[in-house]
A and B are shown apart, each in its own frame.
Chain A
Amino acid sequence: MFLKEYFGSIYRSARSLLKGMKLTGYYFTHPKEIQTEEYPDNRATLTMFDRFKGEVTMPHNENNEHRCTGCQACEIACPNGTIKIITKQELQPDGKKKKAIDTFVYHLELCTMCNMCVLACPSDAIVMGQSFEHSVYDKRQLKKVLNQPGSKIMEGVE
């Protein structure tokens, strides 16, 4: 009885150890399984994964139009005060005045890439970008204006 238990434990442990060695042996002989990349060398071809959050960006279409209405929901949602929206009153063709965005100030140095602003935006005007090489020597360069100069709101976005 005791001997059965004894040899059984030897057999079980040897089997599990061999199983582990089989897996590591598989990884050793299959270099294509390697997950890491040689980063600065592969800059040209580097693509980050879809959910990577590098910075907040505001996409513009080919007519230099964005989707931001200046509702400031993102500014309220941001836990760090990273976003400052400066609005202006724009004269509509029908003579009415309407709130519109003047400057979308984004302080990259304060941002924690938490994605709250993107979730809060009712008109999907901002998305998280893929770039992550943000280091600069002067922190003033981290303050960014996301709406491009001369851009205006897209037709039909309320």
Chain B
Amino acid sequence: MKLILDISFSSFATGIHQWLVGAVHSEGLVKVIEMVIAGLALLVFLVPLCFILGYMERKVAAFIQVRLGPNRVGPKGTLQIVADTIKLLFKEGLTPNASDKFLFNLAPMIVVVTSMLVMAPIAFAKNFQIWDISIGVLYVSSISSIAVIGILMAGWSSNNKYSLLGAMRSGAQIVSYELSVGLSLISIVILAGSLRMSDIVMSQENGWWIFKGHIPVLISFVIFLIASTAEINRAPFDLAEAEQELTAGFHTEYSGMKFAMFLLAEYINLFVVSAIAATLFLGGWMPFHIGHWHTFNFVMDYIPSSVWFLGKTFAIIFIIMQFRWTFPRLRVDQLLTLEWKYLLPVSMVNVILVTVMAIMGWHF
């Protein structure tokens, strides 16, 4: 029993590092090899993750709409996404004649790469993180805003009115909602006193911020959920795609694997956003502890930290999916009203409240 519990992701990573240091004698080479391994591990993690999220999204949508969802390919339809991927692989990757071919082919790469870059500072388990950068939260919010360049590029280079309109909307949307996302992240940074992801997780050892921070943190959690749903262009904020009016928005002209990359980026973004919400507000890989109930806390400690992290993340993913299949879509003016008239003022006042709380030490 003890042995199995000792095998964690962090000991696995340390093991690889020690083996490499022993086998390869140049320190620089060890670094390069480790980077390659980390990148590959990320890819190996992301592809099944996207399959799972795609399947989950369909099933959640179906159950909410009182349907059965995919149930033909594989047991209970689990292989449906594999079938879809194979279909997309065999589709012709069309590039329109009048498009700007270089930008057209570059855009999906930028979108995918930025969403993968954001994965770097996320703590997947105890002491298991690709890059524990000291400005983790700042890194996340700045890198994720690069994605809008890819979307604008896709819309512009397609040389299609629908795509351009979709891309412009997405630009307006991301630029506005970034403010609320940033402000709600800041409230946790104020409380934790650090931008480093691991510090933020460790600051929640005696309770998650959503419990410790009273109502202001709850408000910033809700604001973060709403604004980040908007930032990743998911319904009810999918104005950039807007199937009803813009066919598919910025990826109207994309087909085959290039289209699949946008889909991949969408699911990675969904995961990243939920992982960040889980890390900042729900304590990341920290187990759930209640005050002085030592037996209870002890049992909770036995659940592996990666399970805690993934469980919290998937709970938030489920909430975001439920948003998508419950709420009607917003109009463009309603979208901007929501941000500038409601979310932004509320989150500004909220930051002040959190600051006062942190200074007075009213949190636990």
Q: Report A's interface with B, CB cutoff 8 A.
A: 10, 17, 20-21, 23-25, 27-28, 31, 33-36, 38
Contacts and interface: CB of A to CB of B under 8 A. Distances in A.
Contact of A27 (B64, B68, B327, B342): B64
Given A10-B342, A28-B60, A38-B71, A33 B326 contact: no
A79 B42 CA distance: 66
B322 A21 contact: yes
A29 B71 CA distance: 18
Given A10-B342, A21-B322, A36 B67 contact: yes
Given A10-B342, A28-B60, A34 B67 contact: yes
B326 A20 contact: yes
Contacts of A24: 64, 322, 325-326
B63 A21 contact: no
A43 to B, nearest CB: 16
A28 B327 contact: no
Contacts of B3: none
Nearest to A19: B326
Contacts of B327: 17, 20
Interface in B291-331: 322-323, 325-327
Interface string B59-98: 0100111111001000000000000000000000000000
A36 B63 CA distance: 10
A34 B63 CA distance: 7
Contacts of B346: 10
Contact of B63 (A10, A23, A27, A38): A27
A28 B67 contact: no
Contacts of B66: 27, 33-36
A28 B68 contact: no
Contacts of A31: 63
Give the residue among A24, A25, A27, A38 with the most B Cβ atoms within 10 A: A24
